[in-house]
Every structure is written in structure tokens, then in C-alpha cells.
Structure 1
């Protein structure tokens, strides 16, 4: 935990490699001290088609899905750290947003299937 999903307008790939965006989010998660490195899951989704206010405005949106039980202050610190990490890239005319969503501990299930 957490599951970190980085959504971004595909035109940004020319300026910042997606792996760099993922690394920035990972480093922010580590800096929060809420998670161990091996528990952080990251993935990215580029969008070829996108509109904001009727225009193709570049964006980066990060959703962090975490198990319930963390305080509002902890979740706010996490979103602030992620936003700070993303805004370190030399990007202009880009909308950045971060949200932290809680997953209910009682209903979250997981199974890892390994090869024999």
C-alpha cells in the first residue's frame, strides 16, 4: 500500500518521462514515512484526448489509494508531498492535482500468486 496512479496528458511525455513522474511520487510516499518502499505500487496512464474548460490543457493528476486508518493530517501531508515532488519538474502551463482516497481495510483483499 499505497496504490499510486499517475494520470497525465500524453503531450507531457516529450518534457518529462513517465518513469520520472512515478519516481517523484514514490519518493514523496517514502518521505511521508507512512509506507515502506516495498509496499508502494505505482502505475501511470497517459491520455491522448483531454479537455479542460474546452481546451487541451496539459495536466497531471495523482490518485493515492491507501488503507483506511490514517488521519486527515497524514493524508494531507502525503498529498502535499506528492504535489511538491511533481511541481519540481520544469513544466509550464500544466494543471497538477493530487487526491488521497481511503480503501476500507475490512473489504480490501489481496493475493499474490508466485511461480513455483
Structure 2
């Protein structure tokens, strides 16, 4: 835990490799001291069709899904760390956003299926 889902406009791939964006999000999650590096799951999805504010402007949106139970302060610190980390790329004309979503701890289910 957490699941970090990075959505971005495909045109940004010319400026920043997606792997670098994922690494930056991971480092910010580790810096929050809320998770161990082994528990962080990351994935990304590029959008080739997008409209922001009526224009085809670049964007990066990070959704972080985490088990419920953390304080508002902890979640705010995490979102600020991720947002500030994304600004290190000095991108221009881009919208950056971070959203934290609680997953109900009582109903979350997980099973890891390993090969034999």
C-alpha cells in the first residue's frame, strides 16, 4: 500500500520519461514516512486525447489510493510532498494535481498468486 496511479498527457513524454515521473512519486511517498518502499505500487497511463480548460494543455494527475485510517494531516503532507516533487521537472504550461482516496480497510481484499 499505497497504489499510486499516474495519469498524464502523452505529449509530456517528449520532456520527461514516464519512469522518471513514477520514481519521483515513489521517492515522495517514501519521504512521507508513511510507507516502506516495498509496499508502494506505481503505474502510469498516458492519454493521447485530452482537453483541459477547453484546450489541449499538458497535465499530470496522481491518484494515491491508500487504506483508510491516516489523519488529514498525514494525507495533506503526502499530497504536498508528491506535488512539490513533480515541480522539480520545471515543466511549463502543465497542470499538476494530486488526489488521495481512502480505501475502506474493512472491505479491502488482496491475494498474491505466486507461480509454483
TM-score range, shorter chain: over 0.9
SS in 2 for 1:25: helix
Q: For residue 17 of structure 1, what is the aligned residue in structure 2?
A: 17
Give matches, 1:62-77, under 5 Å.
Answer: 62-77=62-77
Structure 1, unmatched stretches of 5+, are none
Q: For residue 96 of structure 1, what is the aligned residue in structure 2?
A: 96
Runs ≥4 residues deviating over 3 A: none
For residues 73-100 of structure 1, give each alpha carbon's deviation from its aligned partner in whole angstroms, at most 9, with x where no partner exists: 0000000000011010021010000011
Number of paired residues?
116
SS in 2 for 1:50: coil
Distance in 1 of aligned mates of 2:73 and 2:99:
13
TM-score (norm 1): 0.99
Give matches, 1:43-58, under 5 Å.
Answer: 43-58=43-58
Q: For residue 41 of structure 1, what is the aligned residue in structure 2?
A: 41
Structure 2, unmatched stretches of 5+, are none
